[in-house]
A = this chain, B = another copy of it.
Amino acid sequence: MKVAILGATGLVGQRFVQLLSNHPFFEITALAASDNSAGKKYREAVQWRLNVPVAEKAGDMVLKKCTPDIDCDYVFSALPSDVAGEIEEEFANAGYIVFSNAASHRMDEDVPLIIPEVNLDHLKITETQKRKGKIITNPNCSTIGFTMVLKPIMDRFGIEEANVVTMQAISGAGYPGVPSMDIIDNVVPFIKNEEEKIMTESKKILGRLKDGKIYPANLDIFAQCNRVAVVDGHMLSITIKTQEKATLSEIVRAFEDFQPLKGMYLPTAPEKPVFYLTGVDSPQPKFHRDLGGGMSVSVGRLKQYSNKQFGFVALVHNTIRGAAGCAVLNAEIYNIFRG
């Protein structure tokens, strides 16, 4: 299966390149970027910020423009939101299947916002799309971590209210992104549109598909977002009120039993989508962000406040599970269902 990456030079684009080089299903046939970069070798155009070197083959590719004349089946979009909407539309209309990490189409009625472990069934609404191809999106990075840990609890006990405070990594802002003058010895309690995304996207993801439409989940969500001096890995301090009573051990079991993709051969799917850690001070970005190849959301510090109230901490690798990795997993699973 031939694939292309749009916006390949950004931080999320770099993760796409990393995850799709040597992928068993997919072969990168094109890397595309802004008109400025088009025509240059990828290696020379990119400011590579990952701590594994760029794959030889990708490094040698000459960047294309983001126009729908690329020889491939799937397109992964890491485009910035201000241009993503239109370009993705062009590709989808031209017949490409677009897996997008951009926010532009996420809340469109006919576009699913997929985390395979959480709402695979939502894929069905792509049938209502009138494009020759399709647009399939993955959620915002924090939202992915947030909904992946809510889902197992919701399925068993229902959730009435969820309060989340994020401590987000600098890589979430791309490159050059956060100035060092702003974040060394500091916390910035504001990330543009982030709280809104968590509150609206989560309800769509956790919502119910009925008659070809998604009805948002009915729970209260309060989100406050902070930027901290961490390179990769968003931390989430969460408190919830369940609809039904639960015990600590029942919640733990819900996390551990949560393996909805078990048995499917999906190269990017982690063994444990939610990785429950017992350490007194776990999870931590530095030590746990790479669990499950960066595709597991780790959870720890579970506390019970009352028989319907719980607190815990979750960690999601924001550019792998929270961005490129989720899109790749979406493509892997789409590929199977299509076949």
Contact = CB atoms under 8 A, between A and B. Distances in A.
A265 interface: no
A75 B300 CA distance: 37
A281 B239 contact: no
A276 B181 CA distance: 24
A301 B190 contact: yes
Contacts of A167: 167, 187, 226, 228
Given A163-B163, A178-B179, A239-B222, A188 B228 contact: no
Where chain A touches its partner, the secondary structure class is: mixed
A69 interface: no
A284 interface: yes
A66 interface: no
B184 A170 contact: yes
Interface of A: 11, 48-49, 51-53, 163, 165, 167, 170-171, 175-190, 195, 220, 222, 224, 226, 228-231, 235, 237, 239, 280-287, 290-291, 300-301, 303, 305, 309, 311, 313
A175 B286 CA distance: 15
23 contacts: A48-B287, A49-B182, A51-B290, A52-B290, A165-B237, A167-B226, A176-B181, A179-B179, A180-B180, A183-B184, A185-B185, A185-B230, A187-B230, A188-B284, A189-B281, A189-B282, A189-B313, A195-B303, A222-B305, A222-B309, A224-B311, A226-B235, A229-B229
